Amino acid sequence: MTSFNGTTVINRSNRPSPTSPCKLDFFWIKEGSYTDPYNVCSVHIFPDTKFGTANQYVDLNATSTNYGLVSSTATNFLFHNYKRNAAGVRTGFQGAVSACAPESSYAGNLGYSASSIFKVKTGHFSVILQPSSVYFPETVTDFNMDMSSNTASGSGGYIDIWTLVDVVGSKAQIYVNSFKLNSQNVVAVTEPMLVTPNNKLVQRYVELGSKRSLQIKTELVVDSEPIRESLRNLLETGSLLQNQQFRIVKLNESPDMSSRVMIQDFDDTAATTNVNAHGTMSYLWDTASIAPKYSDDILGGTRGVYEITARYNILDELYYSPKFKLIVR
């Protein structure tokens, strides 16, 4: 699980269900760098009826001006950017990246706030498929009345079709991804779940000035005997990890310096620490801007040995990983 503006959401790879907000990410990489396209026009959600292909929802008439673009109106959900007047009221749609909603505007308790396309950072966009949410169809005439409901409410496979324009004057293109809403996330057992986690830091060294994703792999062993093997395999994928956070501490041996210098504490990394479907927790650390969290600590230089610790929840238990050593050189 991860959070989006303080609301718990489930990434597409972490087995989302129809009853939980599903976060669908999209990354735009051009010439080896994360960049913004000219326009992020829309995101359509459709049932996956042909093994991940979108031909049934696309205009395939080669003479059409909309050739290769979404033509079906039988969508389960539709995300857009919006034109707004001086008072901030929606007046229409627009594809400009500048019109993308910031993460801070997402409110998990308001169904209509989830119909926007959010810009997380350069080249990174997200939409939230939220249960019981509503969206504005392309034929909307009144943004106070013309709303459609989310119909991606059943378990099964879906595709998300992103329509983007690369540069000014270029033709819009679609990018098709797939995800699945699962009903198997509900597990019933006859006694409290017993789980043993094992953690391992992937990196041992990072170069000073680099920006690296620190990764801690987590393997889960379900110790509860009555759980049948199929459920045991499902639960051991890492989907039980919640509220993952990292702590980074600089270690000094000199008596003239602080022996333990806090760089990032758990609460500092909570919003930006992620976990994937395989139980690997990650935090993007910029070693070009290492500084003590507390001003009275003496860092003693940015090169040296650092201590990396992860904290996370599994069900109602709180776990700390071992204190791993990482060398910045």
Residues 150 and 203 in one domain: no
Q: Give the percent of the chain with pLDDT over 90.
A: 40
Average pLDDT of the chain?
Answer: 86
Residues 11 and 40 in one domain: yes
Q: Which domain holds residue 50?
A: 2-181
Do the beta carbons of residue 77 and residue 135 sit within 8 Å?
Answer: yes
Q: What is the pLDDT of residue 162?
A: 95
Residues 158 and 71 in one domain: yes
pTM over 0.75: no
What DSSP string describes 33-68? EE---SEEEEEEEEE--STT--GGGB---TTSTTTT
Residues 167 and 245 in one domain: no
As for how many domains the chain has, the answer is: 2
The string of pLDDT tens digits covering residues 119-130 is 999 999 999 988
The string of pLDDT tens digits covering residues 276-308 is 878 899 999 999 999 999 988 888 889 999 999
The string of pLDDT tens digits covering residues 232-273 is 555 655 567 888 999 999 999 888 788 999 999 999 999 889
The string of pLDDT tens digits covering residues 128-184 is 988 878 888 877 777 776 778 778 777 788 999 999 999 998 999 999 999 888 765
Question: Is residue 189 included in any domain, yes or no?
Answer: no
Residues 223 and 159 in one domain: no
Q: What is the pLDDT of residue 113?
A: 62
pLDDT classification of 8: cutoffs 50, 70, 90:
confident
Q: What is the pLDDT of residue 230?
A: 59
Distance CA 47, CA 52 (A): 9
Residues 172 and 203 in one domain: no
- CA 57 to chain CA centroid, Å, is 26
Residues 199 and 106 in one domain: no
Q: Which CATH number belongs to the domain containing residue 301 in this structure?
A: 2.60.40
Residues 51 and 137 in one domain: yes
Q: What is the pLDDT of residue 81?
A: 87
Is the torsion defined by CA of 62, 65, 68, 69 positive or negative?
negative
Is the torsion defined by CA of 225, 231, 237, 238 positive or negative?
negative
> Is 5 a residue whose pLDDT tops 70?
yes
Do the beta carbons of residue 287 and residue 209 sit within 8 Å?
Answer: yes
Q: What is the pLDDT of residue 143?
A: 72
Q: What is the pLDDT of residue 220?
A: 82
Residues 230 and 271 in one domain: yes
Residue 132's identity, in one-letter code, is S
pLDDT classification of 106: cutoffs 50, 70, 90:
confident
